Structure 1
Amino acid sequence: MASSTKDLSDAEVDRLREDTPGVGHRIHFNNAGAALMPNPVIRGMVEYLQREAEIGGYEASAESTVRLEGVYDSIARLVGSKREEIALAENATLAWQRAFYSLRFGAGDRILTTSAEFAANYVAFLQVARRTGARVEVIPDDANQVLDPQALERMIDSRVRLIAITWIPTNGGLVNPAEAVGQIARAHGVPYLLDACQAVGQMPVDVRTLGCDMLTATGRKFLRGPRGTGFLYMRDDFLKDVEPAMIDLFGAPWVGPQRYELRTDARRFETWEANYAARLGLGTAVDYALSIGIERIERRCRQLANEFRASLSAIPGVLIRDLGERTASIVSFTLRTAGAREVMRHLATQKINVSVSPPTSTPLDATRRSLPDVVRASPHYYNTIAEVRTLASAVREIAA
């Protein structure tokens, strides 16, 4: 499908749905968890595994060297980087950890983060603070409860060693001002780590415009890739001074007695063994998204999410929990008449997939707002307005 500046037409959506076997079985609004893979992704992975079975694992990877190397080019195109700045990982958490734990902190150093930070990242901050004496501080939000760049600017001093934020949190449609954060980080020479798990695949990502030194993402969410895939971007000028916390012979070859040399590219963060079928699936998913056009995907996602929010706002007893004026394709809400998990179970009986985001996933935000478990519905471009209305109607029945 050729990319275009035009919105996705109904005919194009129909073709994309024909390419998505999962839509024949469920109405899938859990794309912020794991999106439905398209046929080319599934087919490519199955064919590669069959080839491994036929000729051997090492032999299959050698035979597919060009395709495997092409994954780095595809991701570089997706995020506006060089291929040498991309490292693949088994998941986004591991990619994030490889970046974060390679940084050095000391007593009194300051790590600045956001109130919407993902719990897995925040506990890592706490661990490093406990080990080193560094401090973890939360950047204040503005009147819309979105990260306030002016407040961040006022926090900067010589002890700030890292700004690390989640662009779009796991528990709702908030979009933090990642580019504005990058401008401040660059102006003061502060390293900037951006968790883009929920952004990559549903909206344009350009690491140069964002101004981040490090960015991490997953394949399974809005990219529609397989589980067990993720990647790390690390800016080349930043990379040259960073040594991974853990290395092996792939990222740091042994070159002589008592000596190793780190690779010059971001693959110093990789290990020798990898799931090559999953990597090919990730690369195919990236190419698939690029062929549609990320800007078109963003517009389609916004249309569907806004349609659902508008429908929810008309249902008595439903409270939309999303923050900010600009919202992403994650709609979080609660009902007065039923808990989030009860809602998810009820919708599942109607073959509608949503998920539940518990307070433990975003503990700072949940504590601040006294959030319970929230229902999370995350439409993607292959969903339809009719499916959105079916979901809204089902929620209305539960709320009655």
Structure 2
Amino acid sequence: MGIDIDRARTDTPGCANVAHLNNAGGALPPRPVIEAVEEQFRLEYTIGAYEASDRNVAAIERFYDAVAGLIGAGRNEIAYVENATRAWDMAFYSVPFAPGDRILTTTSEYSSNAIAYQQAVSDKGARVEVIPDDAHGTLSLDALAAELAKGDVRLVSLNHIPTHNGLVNPVVEVGRLCREYGALYLVDACQSVGQLAVDVAEIGCDMLSATGRKFLRGPRGTGFLYVREEVIKTLEPPFLDLLAASWRTSGGYEVRDDARRFETWERYVAGQIGLGVAADYAVRLGIEAIEDRVRGLAAVLRSELATRPGATVLDRGEHPSGIVTFTIDGHTPEAIMAAASERGINVYTTNPGSHGYDASAVPTAVRASVHYYNTEEEVERLLAVLP
């Protein structure tokens, strides 16, 4: 069953103001998310912050069940974190690297993650190795299998969808290889949760990080971390507080045995409630229907761009995502973004500073990222702006 686009747009106040094709940066939230955040904030400034949290315990706790249901996890495997970067950091820096341990990643890795790898090299004596792409520009499974077979791989870490070229990495197949060779597996799902079906059991990952503000349509300043139950106790977070661990009068402490060991006590409570509402909203619409709609709109945009003289579509992979990146000869991406903005259309740019391992990437490009609430008419509006 498809999505009622008119209802989805009515549910999205921002659609009345702009053609928003920058969902990879931050999507327009739906009305139920907006109202949930506003309600909690109103309570905080009306009756007090602690008191508001006490009154809304059920809504706060709903977050864990909602996100677990979205990605096929257990509620004890979900941690609320303030953003995807910090969620990923909490997972990565909890891995007990030893000298000589290998970290395998992909050419499309996000630079923030690559910086963390290099820190593990400097501080722990780990080694980072970038797996080459296959003929489609996607992570080569044959090359990954060959490297895993050599041994000493502590962690395979990659993005599900990179920020800059539309490809979708074969995370399920990578998961099978990681299980076969006994390597930990971390997935950065910052750009995939909310636009593609993401099932952690099918993927077979040990850890997965995601944000609220992108395709999930949650509040900015929210994110979550999934950690597989069997792995939780083997990972001690890089820092702990009185929620993540319990103080003992003897001077020791005891770390929680669920994924909330990766949380901190203080948090954006209204955001946590809103993120839970966003997850429930996506599940009600149907994540498969969302994926079909997003891929379909992106395919229309790529097809039209391919017919334009001077336009080059940069997306890779056999089945690309809703992120469409392109250049137009003689026109800078920044100029194209500005021209679109003047006509009420949001797109963005991507640059090499965000994807340092990708030697084949162009210096800068336009990034248009569609969502299910976008329309074919909005895609045509963008095309009409292009030189």
Instruction: Please state if 1:188 is matched with 2:181.
Output: yes
Q: Distance in 2 between matches of 1:378 and 1:297?
A: 14
Alignment of 1:1-400 (within 5 A): 6-8=1-3, 12-156=4-148, 157-365=150-358, 368-395=359-386, 398=387
Greater shift in the superposed pair: 67-76 or 253-262: 253-262
TM score, norm. by length of structure 2: 0.99
Q: Which runs of 4+ in 1 moved over 3 A?
A: none
TM score, norm. by length of structure 1: 0.95
What is the identity, as a one-letter code, of the residue corresponding to 2:385? Answer: A
What is the identity, as a one-letter code, of the residue corresponding to 2:384? Answer: S
Q: Distance in 2 between matches of 1:178 and 1:298?
A: 16
The offset of 1:269, in angstroms, is 0.7
The offset of 1:372, in angstroms, is 1.4
What is the identity, as a one-letter code, of the residue corresponding to 1:364? Answer: Y
Q: Distance in 1 between matches of 2:147 and 2:72?
A: 29
Kept after mapping to 1: 8 A contact 2:96/2:235: no
Residue 36 of structure 1: SS of its match in structure 2?
coil
The offset of 1:370, in angstroms, is 4.6
Residue 284 of structure 2: SS of its match in structure 1?
helix
Residue 258 of structure 1: SS of its match in structure 2?
coil
The offset of 1:335, in angstroms, is 0.9
Q: Distance in 2 between matches of 1:175 and 1:387?
A: 24
Q: Distance in 1 between matches of 2:330 and 2:13?
A: 34
Deviations 1:266-301 (A, max 9, x none): 000111111101111111111111110000000000
The offset of 1:247, in angstroms, is 0.3
Q: Distance in 2 between matches of 1:244 and 1:110?
A: 20
Residue 283 of structure 1: SS of its match in structure 2?
helix
What is the identity, as a one-letter code, of the residue corresponding to 2:61? Answer: E
Residue 247 of structure 1: SS of its match in structure 2?
coil
What is the identity, as a one-letter code, of the residue corresponding to 1:378? Answer: S
Q: Distance in 2 between matches of 1:290 and 1:280?
A: 16
The offset of 1:132, in angstroms, is 1.6
What is the identity, as a one-letter code, of the residue corresponding to 1:198? Answer: Q
Q: Distance in 1 between matches of 2:99 and 2:230?
A: 26
What is the identity, as a one-letter code, of the residue corresponding to 2:381? Answer: T
The residue aligned with 1:3 is none
The offset of 1:144, in angstroms, is 0.9
Instruction: Give % identity.
Output: 49
Deviations 1:161-202 (A, max 9, x none): 100001100002100100000000011110000000111000
The offset of 1:257, in angstroms, is 1.2
Residue 217 of structure 1: SS of its match in structure 2?
strand
Q: Distance in 1 between matches of 2:151 and 2:308?
A: 50
Deviations 1:370-393 (A, max 9, x none): 511110000100000111111112
Q: Distance in 2 between matches of 1:390 and 1:275?
A: 37
Residue 105 of structure 1: SS of its match in structure 2?
coil
The offset of 1:364, in angstroms, is 1.3
Unpaired runs of 5+ residues, structure 1, are 1-5
Pairs aligned (count): 386
Residue 245 of structure 2: SS of its match in structure 1?
coil
